[in-house]
Chain A
Amino acid sequence: MTTSGTSATAAPPDPDSAPDPNSLAVMASTAPVGNGIGDYARNYVSRLRGGDMGSLPAITGLVVLVILFGLLQPSFASLYNTAVLLTEGSGPIVIAMGLVFVLLLGEIDLSAGYAAGVCAAVMVRVMVGYNAPWPVSIGLALLTGIVIGTLIGLLRAKLRIPSFVVTLAFFLAFQGVALYILNNGKGQQGNVSVTDDVINGINNGQMPLWAGWLFAVLCVLLYAGVKLSASLSRRRAGLSAEPTSVLALKVAGLAVLVGGMVYLLNQNRAIVKTSSIENVNGQLVRVAPARLEGVPWVIPLVVVLLVIWTFVLTRTRYGRHVYAVGGNEEAARRAGVQVDRIRISVFVISSFMAAIGGILIASNVKSVSVDNYGGNTLLLAVGAAVIGGTSLFGGKGRVIDAIIGGLVVEVIYNGMADLVKGTNGSAVQYVVTGLVLMLAAAIDALSRRRAGAAGLG
């Protein structure tokens, strides 16, 4: 019963936390903690055990699926199909990137698919009906996305309608709005063709080969530069930094991945490779087939979006506050975070990204029709984010999850499409995608429980 300051230091140590008298001193010293690849690996394993699985299940799944489909049907692993897979997947992936922000707050945006449809419809209508140049039509589509997101966000944050209901209502309404825009106004009706070469070129055009390599080099340099400067400044500040060996491995890994991808995409992937004899002006000439090579333009676009949003989420105060609101809204509010503003903003980002996704889908098929933005688009996008490792419960997720999960979904879609021939093809596709989404949600829920248990311990 003493009030002196020494009473608790003499108390028995907390058995749960294994107090280490030197731990803080070590952290404050200039010697980085655990400066070895072994320690790093051990940390990683213990994080996994604690339920922090990150993208590991998705990456494992991706590798397994690619091998599986590749063995089952050689055409799946062809260069041509790889490029198709990447360009086809770009739309849902970009929509999923926006959804990550909404999911981080534990919210859902069911309207993202048809919001993409409305934005694409706006784009194609002003382009076809009113001859707007592509920057104008794209700008209007993006603006439409921002307006839609603001509206959803205001309804959710100010009227406190659950996001599930707000966005379900918009899911229904936007289908009608997109239909109306596509079936009215000047120009083609119904399924409206995209006439602009720039927009069609995003998904159908290829970068020059040298530009692809330049892009790869820039990616690796940027990554290495960011990692290295962060590591150096941490060392300067006397904080523990990532071991150099791990850093080098990561950069090398990225270089192999990006370099390999660019190398493959820079090969001629045209299906017809043999030259043909054609009658040109009455003369028989040997005509070489058109080459199809180079990195599709959409890939650097997706990478730029990834870099921008990852920067926003991890390096800015805004991103920190998004995570905080998703983790504990009340705590964030007490800490002075403007919770309502954050909530509105994530819906704006989601719809803005949906607009970009909508444009990419239009570019991919060179036309806009409501069918391309139906329930599938949204479920693929939500599936992509969740499969990639973003939690449905909020507070956990990264932008790159959308890409990893999106590739898984796309691989399943693309792989199943040719695997199951005949009328049952799409039936099987739906079932398998649904099961994979369920599996991802189950992993999410389990790892959350596990993390909760670890947190108490």
Chain B
Amino acid sequence: MTRQNDPPLLQLRNVNKSFGPVQVLHDVSFEARAGEVISLIGDNGAGKSTLVKCIGGTYSIDSGEYLFDGAPVHVRSPRDSAALGIEIVYQDLALCENLDIVQNMFLGRERKRGLTLDENSMEQAATETLASLSVRTVKSVRQRVSSLSGGQRQTVAIAKSVLWNSKVVILDEPTAALGVAQTAQVLDLVRRLADRGLAVVLISHNMLDVLEVSDRIAALYLGQLVAIVERSSVNQTQLVELITTGRSDSITGVPAGAGLTGASA
């Protein structure tokens, strides 16, 4: 599935970001490949959210390189990242409860026919997208989001990124508020996104989720990217070590930096 030989779809090199005197990101190098789920783990305050906001363009990077599909780009606003095909599904679900599923999926990018909205084509597209993702839990795409469960809402938010042919999807704690069955459904959906050839970045505190769905795992510790490791080469204890101390002597995988320079060469 993972196309190791292509350049990474999204690549950050030696990115620094400070807020006043506080340096939040130190020389962070991060990448996401098409067809791959890469998880971003780290304790609170490690810089996960800042990194995501830098990728999304909410924050601009102070120094470092931002490459998309191998070419350097300047991302200064969420609009820029959206134009590149980067979709961020936020933890607090950016959905309008008073609108239905179709209206939410097309919010801000409504299809029009002349002056009026083209409801039929939007409804068809939304239905097809959900069906293509094998989403079965939604009864009608004309249901209001307020009537959906947490898992269904997460599903809608994720399906939105598929609808828009995004290339990179960043999921911020998609399972944080979900029960066991719903978590399984969402993780399944995450996996299917990668199988479709999207680059998926999963941010999670839940090591079980991370281990279940990831291909690779990147660990942030106090603003530094301390490791990018293959899923197959780590266990839960090692991940917890990485999160809490920033290193794990028992890991045999590639340390951060080494793998990245190899990939970009």
A-to-B contact residues, CB < 8 Å: 1-5, 7-9, 11-21, 23-25, 27-28, 33, 50, 233-234, 237-240, 315-317, 320-321, 323-324, 326-328, 330-332, 334-337, 395-396, 451-452, 454-457
Which chain A residues border B121 with CB–CB below 8 Å? 237
The 9 closest A-B pairs by CB, nearest first: A8-B188, A335-B108, A327-B96, A327-B98, A455-B146, A336-B108, A395-B98, A331-B94, A11-B184
B interface residues, tally (CB under 8 Å): 62
Q: Is the CB of A27 within 8 A of B141?
A: yes
B29 within 8 A of A: no
Given contacts A3-B213, A239-B124, contact A328 B94 (CB under 8 A): yes
Any A CB within 8 A of the CB of B147:
yes
Chain B residues 101 to 139 lying within 8 A of chain A, measured CB to CB, are 103-104, 107-110, 112, 115-117, 120-121, 123-124, 127-128, 130-131, 134-139
Measured in the bound complex, the distance between the Cα atoms of B157 and A328 in whole Å is 14
Tell me if B181 and A317 are in contact (CB < 8 A): no
Are A316 and B120 within 8 A (Cβ)?
no
List the B side residues contacting A1 at CB < 8 Å.
Answer: 211-212
Determine whether the beta carbon of A334 is less than 8 Å from that of B117: no
Query: In the complex, are the beta carbons of A28 and B90 less than 8 A apart?
Result: no
Q: How many angstroms from the CA of A4 to the CA of B137 in the assembled complex?
A: 20
Is B97 in contact with chain A by the CB < 8 A criterion?
Answer: yes
**Contacting pair A332 B96 (CB below 8 A):** yes
Q: In the complex, are the beta carbons of A7 and B184 less than 8 A apart?
A: yes
B192 at the interface (CB under 8 A from A): yes
Known: A1-B212, A395-B98. A17 touches B138 (CB 8 A): yes
Minimal Cβ-Cβ distance residue in B for A238 = B124
* Residues of chain A within 8 A of B201, CB atoms compared: none
Summarize A's interface: helix, strand, loop or mixed. Answer: loop
* Interface check B3, CB cutoff 8 A: no
User: Do residues B99 and A327 form an inter-chain contact, with CB atoms below 8 A?
Assistant: yes
B147/A455 in contact, CB under 8 A: yes
Query: Is the Cβ of B187 less than 8 Å from the Cβ of A8?
Result: yes
Residues from chain A with a CB closer than 8 A to the CB of B96 are 323-324, 327-328, 331-332, 395
Contact (Cβ within 8 A) B191 A3: yes
Task: Kindly state whether residue B78 has any CB partner on chain A within 8 Å.
Answer: yes
Q: Which residues of A contact B146 (CB under 8 A)?
A: 451-452, 454-455
State whether B116 touches A9 (Cβ < 8 A).
no
B120:A234 contact, CB within 8 angstroms: yes
B185 close to A (CB within 8 Å):
yes
Question: Across the interface, do B212 and A237 meet the contact criterion of CB distance under 8 Å?
Answer: no
Q: How far is the CA of A2 from the CA of B182 in the complex (A)?
A: 16
C-alpha spacing A27/B124, complex, angstroms: 9
Of residues 143 to 161 in B, which have CB atoms within 8 Å of A's CB atoms? 144-149, 151-152
Let me know if A15 and B115 touch, CB within 8 A: no
Contact A233 B94 (CB under 8 A): no
B139 touches A20 (CB 8 A): yes
Quick one: which of A21, A239, A324, A334 contacts B78, CB cutoff 8 A?
A: A334
Within 8 Å CB of A17, what residues of B? 137-139, 148-149, 151-152
Q: Is the CB of A239 within 8 A of B181?
A: no
How far, in whole Å, are A309 and B73 apart by their CA atoms in the complex?
A: 43
B162 at the interface (CB under 8 A from A): no
- Given A25-B131, A327-B97, A336-B79, are A9 and B188 neighbors across the interface (CB < 8 Å)? yes
Q: A9-B134, A336-B78 are in contact. List 5 more A-B contacts (CB 8 A).
A: A1-B212, A7-B184, A27-B127, A330-B94, A335-B107
Among B99, B123, B149, B181, the residue within 8 A (CB) of A323 is: B99
Contact, CB under 8 Å: B124 / A7:
no
Q: Is the pair B187, A332 in contact by a Cβ cutoff of 8 Å?
A: no
**Residues in chain A near residue B147, CB distance under 8 A:** 50, 454-455
Cβ contact within 8 Å between A14 and B97: no
Using known A-B contacts A237-B124, A330-B94, A334-B90, determine if residue A324 contacts B149 with beta carbons closer than 8 Å. no
A14 lies within 8 A of B182 (CB): yes
* Whole-angstrom CA separation of A15 from B149 in the bound complex: 10
Cα-based distance from A50 to B185 in the complex (angstroms): 26
With CB as the reference atom, state the residue of chain A lying closest to B82.
A336
Q: Could you list some 7 contacts between A and B, CB below 8 A? A: A14-B152, A23-B139, A238-B124, A328-B95, A336-B79, A395-B96, A452-B146
Residue B65 interfacial (CB < 8 Å): no
Q: Identify B112's interface contact among A20, A317, A330, CB under 8 A.
A: A317
Chain A residues, CB < 8 A from B112: 317
Most buried by B among A21, A317, A454: A317
B135: chain A residues at CB < 8 Å are 24
Give every chain B residue within 8 A of A457 (Cβ-Cβ).
149
Residue from the list B97, B123, B130, B148 in contact with A395, Cβ < 8 A: B97
Indicate whether B252 reaches chain A with its CB closer than 8 angstroms.
Answer: no
A2-B185 in contact given A17-B152, A317-B112, A452-B146 (Cβ < 8 Å)? no
Which residues of A sit under 8 angstroms from B98, Cβ to Cβ? Answer: 323, 326-328, 395-396
A27–B142 CA distance with the chains assembled, in angstroms: 10
From residue A339, how far is it (CB to closest CB) to chain B in Å?
11
Residues of B within 8 A of A324 (CB): 96, 99, 103, 107
B5 at the interface (CB under 8 A from A): no
Query: Max chain A CB contacts within 10 Å: which of B78, B98, B191, B192?
Result: B98
Q: Which residues in B have their C-beta under 8 angstroms from that of A396? A: 98
Q: Is the CB of A5 within 8 A of B137?
A: no
**Nearest chain A CB to B180's CB is how many angstroms away?**
8
Confirm or deny: B27 has a beta carbon within 8 angstroms of a beta carbon on chain A.
no
In the complex, the chain A residue whose C-beta lies closest to that of B116 is A315
Minimum distance in angstroms from A46 CB to a CB of chain B: 10
Q: Does B230 interact with chain A (Cβ within 8 Å)?
A: no
Q: Is the CB of A8 within 8 A of B185?
A: yes
B173 at the interface (CB under 8 A from A): no
- Residues in B neighbouring A315, C-beta threshold 8 A: 115-117
Q: Which residues of chain A have C-beta atoms less than 8 A from B103's C-beta?
A: 320, 323-324
Annotate B163-206 by CB proximity to A: 1 below 8 A, 0 otherwise. Answer: 00000000000000000011011011101100100000000000
* A12–B151 alpha-carbon span in the complex (Å): 14
B212 touches A28 (CB 8 A): no
Distance between Cα atoms of A238 and B112 in the complex (Å): 19
B205-223 vs A, CB cutoff 8 Å, 1 = contact: the mask equals: 0000001111100000000
Looking at the complex, which one of B108, B148, B152, B188 makes contact with A332 (CB distance below 8 Å)?
Answer: B108
Minimum C-beta distance from B223 to chain A (A): 25
A233 and B120 contacting across the interface, CB-CB below 8 Å: yes
A13 and B181: CB pair below 8 A? yes
User: Which residues on A sit within 8 Å (CB–CB) of B261?
Assistant: none
